[in-house]
Amino acid sequence: MNDGFGCEPNVPLRPVSKISVAFNLKKSAGSGEPDDKYEEYDPLCTVESVAETIASFGFSVSLCEQDENFAARLQNQSPDFVANIAEGRGQGRGREAQVPCVLESASIPFWGSDAVSMAMALDKLLTCRTLSAEGIPVPFSASFRGSEDLAALPSLFGQFSRMVVKPRYEGSSKGIFSDSVAHSHREAEEKIRRIWNRYDQPALLEEYLPGDEITVGLTGNGNPSVAGMMKITPLQPREEFLYSLEEKRNYLERIRYDGPDTIPPALRNQIGRFAVSAFSALELRDMARVDFRLDDDGIPRIIDINPLPGLSPLYSDLPILHRLSGGTYSGLIRAILMSAFRRSSLDCSRFAREANAS
């Protein structure tokens, strides 16, 4: 019988006293680099928010930046557990798997998905193929690697009147701009070449879905719990809306976040089921954020799934939707930690004491 705090009694559990927070620190793009090159990296205030919240549970917390000295720093800190928010270095589709690979090779438990799931989820094409194979609704998408692929564009625009052009493996709306919707094969080619030149990776063409954008957060394992849900709406209504880089950077002036009460109960339940199914299909762990758009028939389709969601208490979607659903930032971090501790057979008694004290 579970004790209510995620730990199984009568099972030998490893103690945890030292936790390191692994991260990439946000910096300015260099000359000739895209201004969103480091968009996914975290400012120091976010790293400190995560570290201070974990420390409030009674752990000793160290900061461990993933840079050229990461391995030596990790060895020196010798943590019992790692809270990983590092996005990885470079531009490859395996970059979010870099820190999990290091931690797995060192047998250090950490929160979040393993290296394989991280790499799979970052690649939007492979994610769509996997979810589609599981019967989970996704938009049509196609990858464009080089000039020889462009011949397929006229046929695609015979099937779809509008398509979104985005990088194949990025997050935080990198490469998704307010003008990323293409209405013809000529527009699409121009935007595809922009992706190639700007990010040096394949471009993904995705069917434009005209309905509401809704994002849902999950925590847990096996049958994860919905940590919250919200609808993302532009303050100034427009015919074509994308939750683009410009919108995210100026969310206070351009975006309204509406809590779950604004979403019809039947749709809420449907989205929750699809999100949990996607979490299971990709074999994710501990946390994720799943993004949906409604199609012409009102069916929610998954446009992205992020097993490494931002954790800024101020502007990241997961903490915002959790707060709109009645939760707290501390409660969210606690839920993620508890999920990882339970999965890794780590001692949870500290959390039980903290809960009793409160």
- Please state the φ and ψ torsions of residue 60, each to the nearest 5 degrees: -85, 125
Query: Angle at which helices 265-281 and 124-133 pack, to 10 degrees?
Result: 110
E strands, the chain, in order: 18-23, 60-65, 81-84, 141-144, 163-167, 181-182, 203-207, 213-220, 225-234, 255-258, 286-294, 300-306
pLDDT score, position 164? 97
Q: Exposure of 146 by Cβ count < 10 A (0-12 exposed, 13-18 middle, 19+ buried)?
A: exposed
Nearest 5°: the CA angle 253, 258, 262 is 150
Beta-carbon-side half-sphere exposure of residue 27 (alpha carbons within 13 Å): 10
Structure-block tokens of residue 291: 């993004």
For 296-341, write each residue's pLDDT tens digit. Answer: 999 999 999 999 999 999 999 999 999 999 999 999 999 999 999 9
Tens-digit pLDDT profile for residues 8-47 = 556 678 999 999 999 999 999 888 888 899 999 999 999 9
- The tens digit of pLDDT for each residue in 211-232 reads 999 999 999 998 899 999 999 9
Q: Is the pLDDT of residue 2 over 70?
A: no
d(CA 182, CA 127): 22
pTM of the model: 0.93
Q: Which is nearest to 335 in space by CA: 228, 232, 260?
A: 228
